[in-house]
């Protein structure tokens, strides 16, 4: 018998602990599927308020899962026990086999985070980014383990959306992809593998639709409600583009568009109306108003 094939070796690697960095919209969703997937999960954020809010939302989601029969009661109790929080990156990363970052969509912030993380996480740990568009290779270059850096692009809301785009940076190894693929599957997700390119597959298409919707709204083609209705009933989109951008966050969407505009060209130039909304602080559901109002 020859040496074990890579796939045989890979099957022996198991991840027990996942650190999720950033407890915003995405981080709390990833932590939720992670604890349900059987992983001890440490959710980290620099803001205690974000951690408190995330903890109560995850607890409420588990309770709702039990109430609607989607999650067994004992599974919810065990899952809740797997969750802990920390404001310290070093503490969160210390025992992690996989770290998934979900901090704001700014390359400088992410590059700095990966450099720090590289020193804090065990040498064997895989470092993943939930970026919607940015370069995994650039984050990997800030570490001494570029083969263990990968994109894990989850979708919002994480507990409902089936897909994780696995993004292969220039030096991401097959083993890293294999391990993260299995972690995503344990979290109940399906995966596709995408070679790194700005916006991957999904964001690259989705932001074009969303940006065009703002351009149409600005030029008075139809009201926001009618544009949403047209795409839902005429094109079978589950949500209208304005409902979706309110869920995603207008600031996050603008950051993605600005990056794709720089890297892929003029067709991604952000709509002036979207920029105005962000300047006005209308960032979406997370602040109670975006294109629509969400009275609390």
27-57 in b/e burial notation, b at 16+ Cβ within 10 A?
bbbbbbbbbbbbbbbbbbbeeeebbeebbeb
The residue count for the chain: 296
User: Binding ligand NAD by CB under 6 A: which of 19, 20, 23, 83?
Assistant: 23
Is 6 near ligand NAD (CB under 6 A)?
no
Binding residue for ligand NAD (CB under 6 A) from 104, 122, 272, 288? 104
> DSSP readout, 4-51?
PPHHHHHHT----EEEEE--SHHHHHHHHHHHHTT-EEEEE-S-HHHH
Which of 17, 132, 180, 191 is close enough to bind ligand NAD by CB under 6 A?
Answer: 132
Three-state DSSP state, 253 = helix
The residue (of 115 and 170) whose beta carbon lies closer to ligand NAD is: 115
Which stretch in 41-49, 166-174, 221-229, 268-276 sits in contact with ligand NAD by CB under 6 A? 41-49
Burial (0-12, 13-18, 19+ Cβ within 10 Å), 195: exposed
Interaction between residue 102 and ligand NAD (CB under 6 A): yes
100 burial level (CB within 10 Å; 0-12, 13-18, 19+)? buried
Binding ligand NAD by CB under 6 A: which of 113, 121, 224, 257?
Answer: 113
List 22, 65, 241, 290, residue binding ligand NAD (CB under 6 A): 22
State yes or no: residue 17 binds ligand NAD (CB under 6 A): no
Nearest C-alpha neighbor of 50 from the set 39, 58, 61, 62: 58
Task: Please state the φ and ψ torsions of residue 271, each to the nearest 5 degrees.
Answer: -60, 135
How many positions of this chain bind ligand NAD (CB under 6 A)? Answer: 26
Q: Contact region for ligand NAD (CB under 6 A) — 60-68, 130-138, 234-242, 265-273?
A: 130-138
| Contact pick of 20, 42, 100, 103 for ligand NAD (by CB under 6 A) | 103
Q: Which range of residues in 42-50, 164-172, 205-213, 216-224 is near ligand NAD by CB under 6 A?
A: 42-50
Instruction: State the CB neighbour count (10 A cutoff) for residue 278.
Output: 20
CB atoms within 10 A of CB 237: 15
Among positions 7, 46, 56, 276, the unique one binding ligand NAD when judged by CB under 6 A: 46
Of 15, 25, 99, 260, the one binding ligand NAD by CB under 6 A: 25
Establish if 50 lies at the interface with ligand NAD (CB under 6 A): yes
Rounded CA separation 72/67 (Å)? 9
Kindly state whether residue 241 participates in binding ligand NAD, applying the rule CB under 6 A: no
3-state secondary structure of 142: coil
User: Where along the sequence are the contacts to ligand NAD (CB under 6 A)?
Assistant: 21-27, 44-47, 50, 102-105, 113, 130-132, 154-156, 248-249, 252
């Amino acid at each position: 018998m020859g040496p074990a094939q890579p796939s045989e070796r890979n099957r022996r690697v198991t991840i027990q602990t996942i650190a999720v960095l950033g407890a915003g919209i995405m981080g709390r969703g990833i932590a939720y599927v992670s604890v349900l997937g059987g992983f001890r999960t440490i959710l980290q954020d620099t803001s205690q308020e974000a951690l408190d809010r995330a903890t109560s939302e995850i607890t409420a989601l588990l309770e709702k899962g039990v109430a609607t029969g989607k999650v067994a009661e004992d599974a919810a109790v065990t899952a809740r026990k797997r969750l802990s929080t920390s404001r310290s990156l070093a503490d969160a990363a210390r025992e992690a086999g996989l770290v998934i970052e979900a901090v704001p969509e700014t390359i400088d912030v992410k590059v700095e985070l990966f450099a720090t993380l590289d020193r804090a996480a065990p040498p064997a740990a895989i470092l993943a980014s939930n970026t919607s568009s940015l370069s995994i290779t650039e984050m990997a270059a800030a570490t001494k383990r570029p083969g263990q850096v990968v994109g894990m692009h989850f979708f919002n809301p994480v507990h409902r959306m089936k897909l994780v785009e696995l993004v292969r940076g220039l030096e991401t190894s097959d083993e890293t992809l294999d391990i993260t693929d299995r972690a995503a599957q344990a979290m109940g997700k399906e995966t596709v593998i995408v070679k790194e390119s700005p916006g991957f597959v999904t964001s690259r298409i989705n932001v074009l639709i969303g940006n065009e919707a703002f351009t149409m709204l600005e030029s008075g083609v139809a009201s926001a409600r009618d544009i949403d209705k047209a795409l839902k009933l005429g094109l079978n989109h589950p949500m209208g583009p304005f409902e979706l951008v309110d869920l995603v966050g207008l600031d996050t969407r603008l950051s993605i568009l600005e990056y794709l505009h720089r890297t892929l060209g003029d067709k991604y130039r952000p709509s002036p109306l979207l920029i105005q909304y962000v300047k006005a602080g209308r960032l979406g559901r997370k602040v109670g108003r975006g294109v629509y109002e969400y009275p609390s």
